[in-house]
């Protein structure tokens, strides 16, 4: 086949030009792109997969409801599964920042994952929106971290004070043996013993695939008035099953704690042993606001299940990113976005919330709730509200 020299050189020039363009695009800063990229790192497999599923669902729902364009920019979510393993989180965050040039990293199903990404957020100067993890120290690890979930201190102090006021004198504790479990235990203990309560047994259970049975026997033998329990989202169903099998409900040892153990996502399948469980928490699917009723109905319709507190934390997290982008007029520079997020206030399905401008942590209502049956379904029914609770677990400076 005859190909003219002229055509050959034209093609070569075209290819070279295309190459230059591709290189320029690869090197151009994220802020010059027309889309805003969010690197969403969640546990979609493994023991914490229900957290990943809830957050991913809630973000999809939010984007269906609000569209995928903000301040003239298209929002692109890149989902990565870290299976809640911090080495994976770190590698994925690095790839998302360096290769995909994301403007925000978000998600983080467990504390070790949120902590593993913190130095990368600082180096990359990009916001890290924590949508699940709950250890107080997290927001202190990078000036680019903003949290829309909760802290264990927020709920554990409140349930401790409630226990003291309600005649609970002896408590046995069962907590998951990692950072948020230790926060839950320490903040509960501090408040409960200051109010005159006594801890009669203290057990810590492994985070991965815990078998609660041997620990539950120790709880039973200690004959407490109640047991204080923290297990992360996703483990409450298994815990309650073993609690009932060991007959702790029959021996009158009630469960109290932060509301992770009675997550609405799993509550309906926990059986009647869970009735009467009193927890302090940030969200109930039964929260009686118009906005929440709409949220629960839309989530159920889209995914066929009830949203829990992780879903709400994800829904609020993506809202925070959208609203910050509106405030910056679509500017994606990390410092500008974090600045825009500070002090933001809005109504969430959980109630009124805001971002503390000093700590970048969430300020929210904490509700005391009791598991009750309504229309054949189990719900965490709120009966007392503590308004605008800040995290009390920060390092004292």
Give the end-to-end CA distance of the chain in Å, rounded to a whole number: 78
Taking a C-beta distance cutoff of 8 angstroms, is the pair 70, 318 a contact? no
Taking CA 151 as the corner, what is the angle to CA 214 and CA 379, rounded to the nearest 5 degrees?
65
Nearer of residues 132 and 256 to ligand PHB, judged by Cβ: 132
Nearer of residues 104 and 179 to ligand PHB, judged by Cβ: 179
Give the gyration radius of the chain's Cα atoms: 24
Which DSSP letter does residue 357 get?
T
Nearer of residues 132 and 158 to ligand PHB, judged by Cβ: 132
Could you list the residues that contact ligand PHB (CB under 6 A)?
110-111, 132-135, 180, 232-233, 260
Nearer of residues 337 and 363 to ligand PHB, judged by Cβ: 363
Sign of the alpha-carbon torsion through 119, 43, 158, 201? negative
Nearest distance from C-beta of residue 135 to ligand PHB, angstroms: 5
Nearest distance from C-beta of residue 278 to ligand PHB, angstroms: 17
Taking a C-beta distance cutoff of 8 angstroms, is the pair 241, 267 a contact? no
Nearest distance from C-beta of residue 149 to ligand PHB, angstroms: 8
Nearer of residues 132 and 296 to ligand PHB, judged by Cβ: 132
**Of residues 3, 22, 23, the one with CA closest to residue 11:** 3
Taking CA 356 as the corner, what is the angle to CA 352 and CA 358, rounded to the nearest 5 degrees?
170
Nearest distance from C-beta of residue 104 to ligand PHB, angstroms: 20
Provide the token pair at 191: 């408040």
Helix (H) or strand (E) holding 384: strand 377-389
Cα separation, 121 vs 142, whole angstroms = 7
Nearer of residues 138 and 219 to ligand PHB, judged by Cβ: 138
Nearer of residues 118 and 132 to ligand PHB, judged by Cβ: 132
Nearest distance from C-beta of residue 375 to ligand PHB, angstroms: 27
Cα separation, 334 vs 31, whole angstroms = 9
Nearest distance from C-beta of residue 50 to ligand PHB, angstroms: 10
CB-facing half-sphere around the CA of 52: CA atoms within 13 A: 19
Nearest distance from C-beta of residue 341 to ligand PHB, angstroms: 20
Nearest distance from C-beta of residue 98 to ligand PHB, angstroms: 26
Cα separation, 55 vs 42, whole angstroms = 8
Provide the token pair at 156: 């554990």
Nearer of residues 111 and 148 to ligand PHB, judged by Cβ: 111
Nearer of residues 89 and 103 to ligand PHB, judged by Cβ: 89
Three-class DSSP labels, 201-222: EEEEECCCCCCCHHHHHHHHHC
- SS3 state of residue 197: coil
Nearest distance from C-beta of residue 219 to ligand PHB, angstroms: 20
């Amino acid at each position: 086949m005859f190909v003219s020299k002229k055509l050959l050189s034209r093609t070569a020039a075209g290819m070279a030009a295309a190459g230059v363009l591709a290189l320029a695009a690869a090197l151009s800063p994220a802020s010059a792109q027309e889309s805003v990229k969010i690197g969403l790192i969640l546990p979609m497999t493994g023991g914490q997969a229900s957290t990943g599923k809830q957050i991913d669902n809630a973000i999809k729902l939010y984007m269906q409801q609000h569209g995928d364009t903000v301040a003239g920019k298209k929002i692109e979510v890149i989902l990565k599964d870290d299976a809640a393993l911090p080495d994976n989180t770190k590698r994925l965050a690095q790839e998302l920042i360096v290769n995909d040039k994301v403007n925000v990293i978000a998600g983080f199903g467990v504390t070790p994952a949120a902590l593993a990404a913190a130095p990368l957020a600082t180096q990359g100067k990009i916001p890290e929106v924590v949508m699940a993890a709950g250890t107080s120290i997290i927001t202190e690890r990078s000036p680019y971290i903003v949290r829309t979930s909760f802290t264990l201190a927020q709920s554990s102090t409140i349930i401790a004070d409630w226990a003291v006021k309600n005649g609970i004198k002896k408590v046995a504790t069962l907590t998951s043996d990692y950072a948020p479990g230790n926060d839950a235990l320490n903040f509960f203990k501090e408040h409960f013993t200051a109010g005159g309560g006594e801890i009669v047994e203290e057990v810590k259970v492994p985070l991965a695939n815990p078998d609660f049975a041997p620990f539950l026997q120790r709880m039973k033998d200690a004959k407490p008035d109640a047991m204080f329990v923290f297990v992360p989202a996703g483990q409450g169903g298994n815990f309650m099953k073993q609690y009932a099998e060991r007959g702790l409900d029959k021996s009158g040892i009630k469960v109290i704690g932060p509301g992770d153990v009675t997550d609405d996502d799993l509550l309906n399948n926990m059986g009647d042993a869970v009735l009467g469980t009193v927890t302090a928490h940030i969200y109930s699917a039964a929260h009686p606001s118009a906005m929440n009723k709409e949220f629960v109905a839309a989530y159920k319709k889209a995914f066929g299940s009830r949203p829990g507190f992780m879903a709400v934390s994800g829904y609020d997290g993506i809202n925070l990113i959208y609203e910050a982008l509106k405030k910056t007029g679509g500017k994606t520079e990390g410092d500008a976005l974090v600045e825009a997020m500070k002090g933001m206030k809005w109504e969430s399905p959980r109630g009124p919330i805001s971002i503390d401008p000093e700590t970048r942590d969430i300020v929210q209502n904490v509700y005391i709730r009791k598991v009750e049956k309504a229309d054949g379904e189990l719900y965490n029914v709120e009966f007392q509200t503590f308004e605008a609770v800040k995290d009390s677990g920060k390092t004292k400076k």
